[in-house]
Amino acid sequence: MELSSKTEESFRIVSVNDTRIDAAVAIEFKDAMRTQTEDGPSVVILDLSKVQFIDSSGLGAIVASMKNLGQDRKLALAGLTPTVDKVFRLTRMDSVFSLFDTLDGAVEGLRS
């Protein structure tokens, strides 16, 4: 599970460089997210544009990452591909996260 991150404006942008967040890598993903967001800006944008598939374990790992950030920080999701978007909609997790079609859209939309 490869994640990369950068800080842009007042956001920590974490990009997933794998095509799947599934049961095989859910724990690895959680650990990598923790490392990438340990410090830095309070708003984290998770760029999912390369991810083609997510299962319920992957969804759970993203929820765990959000909880790990704590009450004072925020996790937004950007670049959801069709199947990933479907999992968020069906589980109604789209109501829990701020979702943006693109990374640029997320930066634009979250700018205060």
Partner 1 sequence: MIVTHFLPKFQVSVQSGQLAVRSALEKLLTQLEPLHLDVEEAGTIELVLAEALNNVVEHGYPPSSEGGAIDISCSHKRDGLHFEICDQGLPMPSGETPIGSKVDLNVPMQDMPEGGFGWFLIKDLAKDIDYARQGNSNHLRLRLNVRSA
What is the contact surface with partner 1 in residues (CB under 8 A)? 20, 22-24, 53, 55-57, 59-61, 63-64, 66-67, 71, 82-83, 86-87, 90-93, 95-96
How remote is the C-alpha of 37 from its chain's centroid?
11
Q: What is the dihedral of CA 83, 1, 43, 112, to 10 degrees?
A: -50
CB of 31 vs partner 1, minimal distance in Å = 14
**Nearest approach, Cβ of 9 to partner 1 (angstroms)?**
24
Q: At what angle do helices 56-69 and 82-90 cross, to 10 degrees?
A: 70
**Closest separation between CB of residue 108 and partner 1, Å?**
25
